[in-house]
């Protein structure tokens, strides 16, 4: 505070000394005040010595103003203080605006880069791949415990397919089932897993009951060894919630209905079921238990990932592959891995899905495909089945004796692999692939020629040869569109049939060569229809799911495969005018849809047996009598086939997985 001056106040102070005395300060202080704080001091005009004078009244006014400012903690009043404060405010505003602009620009740039997946990182980059098995034969269906310490899988190392387990890092493997559980293989579901506490290994199992029908259920065997026992009867596959209090499962009834159950199994509720012909597979809980993700569609090659609230409701589609999709597995709350075939039919490859942005990326490449996938709870360890499958062509005579493997001889091909063989007049058709396409090849006189192939295309099923051997019909998918084609047997004059007809499998020529039967969708609805060769007319025969028709020799009727129910389907018969026909009760396992009628007979050639092991049989359509044609070993897996025009030979493709279990350590 400035001290009060003396009571005797002069009219004018004529020097620095008088001013200092009046304000009771030293000369240097008042000179500083005059210079820095605007104290009212006047200078004589034209006074080169710089003498000053001041008026006490002005000093008093200045003193009180200064005193008031100090009392309010606002510090000394600078000259032009209002202007200075305004300049500072402007500078602060400009700095703030610039800073906000930089932040906004940076945020926009980050958003754009994120949308462009600039920050995307392959979840398997820098991961270590460790081959866990190197057995002879094939391994299937890898699973890993939640803590990442145990791995279970299926293997035919000891002959029959059994469940095996290993503790990671020990190099020791233990056969858990030892032939006690007969049928364990089903590539369309997750067949093996662990209980939440890792004490049990759960197994898909199919048994034949007294009426020869298939009973599907989940069994369990102690991880450290013991007797297999039923775990969840009627269920095809299951998954426990992350907290272990609820489980989701589906049965093998029509539409694969999904159920959610409490641990006590007292609060079971059905949350979804598809229509006949569609299936719900591979259910899995999200890490926060907010959704159940599952694979839904028409197996095997028209599937996608969907999700549904555990309380039920309308499911939401997550991916758009419309291909073979399987094994959804979470790495964390945002990243879902799964397996899917590419648009050209190659794979299955490993894909990653960003749940938040719904973006998918293929994250595996090469020549080896993946057939199973599982992850530990923390996502740090994954196990996959890595396969390098091959398909080779074989032929064998048909006789009254049961043929052993030695009766079959391999067909030498100049291409890498072959599938879906068909016999023509002096030639053999088959499907093979090159680098960017799958096409139809013709083998005649030891020379193979590609008749049809389009980049990125995939042949659906196999080709069909007209009765005169001069024309070929087939179905193919190009860029997501399915079309049926007819061409000459030399590959010329290929043309599409009507686009309104969406074929779903292998076509079949009528014996008169004037029409073709094919399972299809017309305006989205499944049917079995006949189409004229010129494509001008078509007639629906069956208004339901159907697959792989075959004509009788006289053209009076067709046989076809009905919809899958669980792991089986019924063989059905329809007349040429669309009327249903009575037929023996023929039930076949999934993977055996190809049907052929012996020439001049009402006898059907089928492949019959377990999911992963079948043999050729002949079934009389009138009496129902059956006769086994082959007795191949378990490692001899039959795929597609055809019967010669005289009924004396069968040509078929043989499938070999050549697979092993690999651990991916992240």
Token pair in block for residue 384: 């996959």
Long-range contacts (CB closer than 8 Å, 24 or more residues apart) made by 634-639: 634/156, 634/159, 634/160, 634/161, 635/137, 635/156, 636/405, 637/612, 637/613, 638/607, 638/614, 639/391, 639/419, 639/420
Point out the least confidently predicted range of 54-58, 338-342, 449-453, 551-555. 54-58
Q: Which of 249, 180, 300 is nearest to 611 (CA)?
A: 300
Helices (H), 8-130: 16-23, 27-36, 56-71, 81-115
If one compares 172 and 50, the residue with the highest pLDDT of the two is: 172
CA distance 16 to 532: 122
Can you state the angle between helices 27-36 and 16-23, rounded to 10 degrees?
90
Peptide bond into 222 cis (omega under 30): no
- Which residues have a Cβ under 8 Å from the Cβ of 250 and sit 6 or more positions away? 235, 236, 237, 256, 257, 258, 259, 280, 281, 283, 294
pLDDT reported for residue 310: 94
Confidence of residue 358 (pLDDT cuts 50, 70, 90): confident
Q: In the predicted model, what is the mean pLDDT of residues 509-533?
A: 89
- DSSP codes, 466-529: -TTSSEEEEEEEETTEEEEEEEETTS-S-EEPPTTEEE-S--EE-TTSSEEEEEEEETTEEEEE
Task: State in words which class domain 128-388 has.
Answer: mainly beta
Fold agreement between 128-388 and 390-659: yes
Range in 57-66, 356-365, 410-419, 615-624 the model is least confident about: 57-66
Residue 82 has pLDDT above 50, yes or no: no
Quick one: DSSP state of residue 403?
A: B
- Residue whose entry in the numeric block shows the structure tokens 């009905």: 562
- Residue predicted with more confidence, 547 or 344: 547
Give the highest mean pLDDT range of 307-316, 433-442, 561-570, 656-665. Answer: 307-316
How much of the chain, in percent, has pLDDT values that exceed 70?
88
* 390-659: CATH, from 2.120.10.30, 2.60.40.10, 3.40.50.720, 3.40.50.800: 2.120.10.30
Cβ–Cβ < 8 Å for 394, 409: yes
Task: Tell me how far apart the alpha carbons of residues 134 and 524 are, in angstroms, rounded to a whole number.
Answer: 46
> Among 343-352, 376-385, 540-549, which range has the highest average pLDDT?
376-385
Is the pTM higher than 0.95? The answer reads no
| Count of helices and strands (H, E) across the chain | 4, 52
Separation between Cα atoms, residue 529 and residue 507, nearest integer Å: 10
Cβ count near 22 (within 10 Å): 20
229-284 pLDDT, tens digit per residue, is 999 988 999 999 998 899 999 998 888 999 998 865 566 889 999 888 789 999 99
Q: What angle do CA 264, 267, 271 make, to 5 degrees?
A: 130
- According to DSSP, residue 409 is labeled E
Confidence of residue 142 (pLDDT cuts 50, 70, 90): very high
Binning pLDDT at 50, 70 and 90, where does residue 458 land?
confident
Q: How many CB atoms lie within 10 A of CB 30?
A: 23
* Mean of pLDDT values over 526-539: 86
Evaluate if residue 94 carries a pLDDT over 80. no
Are 657 and 187 in contact, with CB atoms under 8 Å apart? no
84 has pLDDT over 60: no
pLDDT in tens, 315-337: 999 999 988 999 999 999 999 99
The β-bridge partners of 306 are 294, 317
Q: Give the whole-angstrom CA distance, residue 104 versus residue 599.
A: 77
pLDDT range class, residue 61, cuts 50, 70, 90: confident
Which pLDDT tens digit goes with each residue over 274-287? 888 789 999 999 99
Comparing 50 with 28, the larger pLDDT belongs to: 28
pLDDT digits (tens, 9 = 90+) for 568-600: 788 899 988 888 776 778 888 877 889 999 988
Tell whether the model's pLDDT for residue 490 goes beyond 80: yes
pLDDT above 80: residue 542: yes
- Whole-angstrom Cα distance, residue 320 to residue 26? 90
Give residue for tokens 């051997």: 469
The domain spans of the chain are 16-79, 128-388, 390-659
């Amino acid at each position: 505070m400035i001290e009060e001056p003396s009571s005797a106040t002069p009219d004018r102070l004529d020097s620095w000394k008088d001013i200092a005395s009046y304000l009771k300060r030293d000369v240097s202080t008042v000179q500083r005040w005059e210079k820095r704080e605007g104290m009212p001091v006047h200078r004589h005009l034209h006074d080169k010595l710089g003498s000053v004078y001041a008026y006490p009244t002005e000093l008093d006014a200045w003193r009180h103003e200064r005193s008031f400012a100090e009392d309010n903690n606002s510090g000394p009043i600078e000259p032009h203080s209002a202007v200075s404060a305004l300049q500072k405010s402007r500078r602060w505003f400009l700095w703030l605006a610039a800073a906000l602009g930089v932040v906004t620009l940076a945020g926009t740039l980050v958003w754009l880069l994120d949308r462009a997946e600039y920050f995307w990182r392959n979840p398997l980059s820098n991961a270590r791949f460790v081959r866990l098995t190197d057995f002879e034969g094939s391994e299937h269906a890898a699973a890993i415990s939640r803590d990442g310490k145990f791995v279970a899988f299926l293997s035919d190392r000891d002959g029959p397919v059994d469940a095996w387990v290993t503790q990671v890092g020990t190099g020791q493997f233990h056969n858990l089932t030892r032939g006690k559980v007969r049928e364990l293989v089903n590539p369309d579901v997750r067949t093996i897993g662990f209980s939440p506490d890792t004490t049990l290994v759960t197994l898909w199992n199919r048994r034949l009951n007294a009426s020869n029908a298939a009973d599907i259920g989940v069994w369990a065997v102690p991880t450290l060894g013991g007797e297999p026992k039923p775990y969840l009867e009627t269920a095809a596959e299951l998954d426990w919630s992350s907290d272990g209090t609820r489980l989701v499962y589906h049965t093998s009834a029509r539409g694969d209905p999904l159920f959610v159950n409490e641990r006590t199994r007292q609060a079971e509720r059905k949350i979804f079921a598809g229509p006949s012909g569609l299936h719900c597979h591979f259910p899995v809980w999200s890490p926060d238990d907010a959704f159940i993700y599952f694979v839904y569609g028409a197996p095997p090659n028209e599937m996608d990932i969907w999700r549904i609230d555990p309380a039920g409701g309308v499911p939401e589609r997550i991916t758009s592959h419309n291909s073979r999709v399987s094994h959804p597995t979470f790495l964390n709350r945002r990243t879902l891995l799964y397996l899917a075939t590419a648009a050209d039919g190659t794979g299955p490859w490993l894909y990653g899905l960003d749940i938040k942005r719904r973006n998918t990326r293929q994250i595996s490449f090469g020549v080896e495909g993946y057939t199973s996938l599982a992850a530990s709870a923390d996502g740090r360890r994954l196990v996959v089945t890595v396969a390098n499958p091959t398909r080779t062509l074989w032929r064998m005579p048909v006789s009254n004796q049961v043929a052993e493997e030695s009766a079959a001889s391999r067909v030498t091909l100049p291409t890498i692999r072959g599938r879906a063989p068909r016999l023509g007049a002096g030639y053999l058709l088959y499907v093979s692939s090159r680098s960017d396409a799958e096409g139809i090849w013709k083998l005649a006189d030891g020379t193979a020629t590609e008749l049809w192939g389009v980049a990125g295309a995939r042949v659906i099923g196999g080709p069909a040869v007209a009765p005169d051997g001069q024309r070929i019909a087939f179905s193919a998918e190009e860029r997501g569109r399915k079309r049926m084609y007819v061409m000459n047997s030399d590959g010329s004059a290929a043309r599409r049939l009507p686009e309104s007809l969406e074929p779903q499998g292998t076509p079949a020529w009528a014996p008169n060569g004037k029409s073709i039967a094919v399972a299809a969708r017309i305006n989205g609805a499944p049917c079995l229809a006949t189409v004229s060769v010129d494509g001008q007319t078509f007639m629906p025969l069956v208004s339901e799911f159907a697959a792989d028709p075959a004509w009788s020799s006289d053209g009076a009727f067709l046989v076809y495969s009905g919809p899958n129910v669980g792991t089986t389907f019924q063989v059905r018969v329809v007349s040429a005018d669309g009327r249903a026909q009575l037929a023996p009760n023929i039930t076949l396992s999934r993977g055996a849809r190809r049907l052929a009628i012996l020439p001049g007979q009402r006898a059907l050639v089928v492949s019959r047996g377990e999911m992963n092991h079948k043999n050729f049989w002949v079934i009389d359509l009138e009496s129902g009598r059956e006769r086994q044609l082959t007795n191949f070993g378990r490692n001899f897996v039959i795929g597609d086939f055809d019967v010669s025009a005289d009924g004396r030979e069968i040509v078929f493709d043989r499938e070999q997985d050549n697979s092993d279990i690999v651990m991916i350590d992240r």
